[in-house]
Amino acid sequence: MKSNERVIVVGGGIIGCLTALYLHRLGARPVVLERGTVGQESSWAGAGILCPIHPWLYPDSFTHLINYSLALYPDLHRELVATTGIDSQWRNNGLMIPFFADDRVHHRDAALRWSARFQWPVEQLDRQQCCTQEPTISPDVEGALRWPEVGQVRNPRLLTAVRKAMALEGVPIREQSPVAGLQFGGRGEVRGVVLAGGEVIEAEMVLLAAGSWSGELGAASGLSLPIEPVKGQIVLIKDEPERVRHIIKHDNAYLVPRVDGHILVGASMERVGFQRGTTRETIDALLAATWRMHPALKQARIVREWMGFRPGTPDGMPYLGPVREHAGLWVSSGHYRNGVALAPGSAELISRWMMGVQPEVDLHDFRVDRPLQPRAAIGLPEKTNAT
């Protein structure tokens, strides 16, 4: 196993920060270079659901990776609470997919098959059971599937906790340090990075963890990484705690109830480049979908709306591993809709691999030079606005 390597981690989201923390614990000398402020982009904006929206649509290799990552959450949570005192409110309040007469897509059979194959406990609820479990759900509901062990985390708090753990353990972060390009030696090996201001920082290894921006940063150095932003808008509402009990996912929206009565309603899927800002039309559509599922939430207070850029990929899967033609260059990017769920697993596997330990999960399907294979159901959406 290697040690004492200088490693530059480009990007201070959940992926870059957690990987840097684990690299440090393995004896490397990482520094996180962040263009702006740590943890303010996708990792802040996301909903924190610890389960892909429709996991049965993904290849099995993805489920293995997700399962590996989710199994690390309880220990990560306990450890961060103990060392930093920050509670990211990780909890298993369950996921419910209700069924209504005019649903666009019916997932029941595929979901049940997938759950049985991968041993995710699931219950089939009839209308009455559904209304007992979710007393304020619309009386039009016909039934539901319920996964009692699906969890959530408040990702901004998770980031704050990881950042504090990094400070406590002496892992350096340089904010306001945009990386403009990579530096290579004569044999193509990575030598470091150059910042926008011209400063060159040398290192034996560089990890690209710049989320939605990894694609353009790679391209600036001749690297083909088809990662592009997929904008998601979210609206936060506030009601009594327990008004909604489960994470609820339906055709047009999902609800993520926090313990204090805040309910996060997400999220649009828009391929509009790096266009920031929320739009009235999309937020109204999210609210309409919410009220249809839970009419009682019409009385909830609208607190805030925001957006973020998911690091999207054509096949919906992250890029994880070394760049073969550039020794020392690694990628952990493109986590798309699942970066919070995948963060502990990605960080653990990539940090160990960078230090010479072969990953215990098969990461072949996530290799950086895999063929481009767009998957309509889980990859990039059409280049139009849609909720």
Ligand X SMILES: Cc1cc2nc3c(=O)[nH]c(=O)nc-3n(C[C@H](O)[C@H](O)[C@H](O)COP(=O)(O)OP(=O)(O)OC[C@H]3O[C@@H](n4cnc5c(N)ncnc54)[C@H](O)[C@@H]3O)c2cc1C
Chain residues binding ligand X by CB under 6 A are: 10-16, 33-36, 40-43, 45-49, 178-179, 209-213, 217, 232, 234, 266-267, 308, 310-311, 333, 335-341
First and final C-alpha spacing in the chain: 47
Whichever of 143 and 178 has its CB closer to ligand X, that residue is 178
Residue 1 to residues 17, 50, 119, 137, 354, Cα–Cα distance (Å): 22, 32, 34, 54, 9
CB of 254 to ligand X, least distance (A): 8
Residue 267 to residues 14, 276, 277, 311, 337, Cα–Cα distance (Å): 20, 14, 13, 15, 10
Beta strands in 258-349 (DSSP E): 262-266, 301-312, 319-322, 329-333
Whichever of 298 and 304 has its CB closer to ligand X, that residue is 304
Beta strands in the chain (DSSP E): 6-10, 29-33, 49-50, 95-99, 123-126, 143-147, 151-152, 173-174, 179-184, 190-195, 200-202, 205-208, 228-238, 247-250, 253-257, 262-266, 301-312, 319-322, 329-333
CB of 2 to ligand X, least distance (A): 24
Whichever of 249 and 294 has its CB closer to ligand X, that residue is 249
Whichever of 84 and 332 has its CB closer to ligand X, that residue is 332
CB of 209 to ligand X, least distance (A): 6
Helix (H) or strand (E) holding 134, with range, is none
CB of 336 to ligand X, least distance (A): 6
Whichever of 209 and 293 has its CB closer to ligand X, that residue is 209
Whichever of 116 and 196 has its CB closer to ligand X, that residue is 196
Pairing of strands 143-147, 123-126: antiparallel
CB atoms within 10 A of CB 27: 12
CB of 55 to ligand X, least distance (A): 11
CB of 309 to ligand X, least distance (A): 6
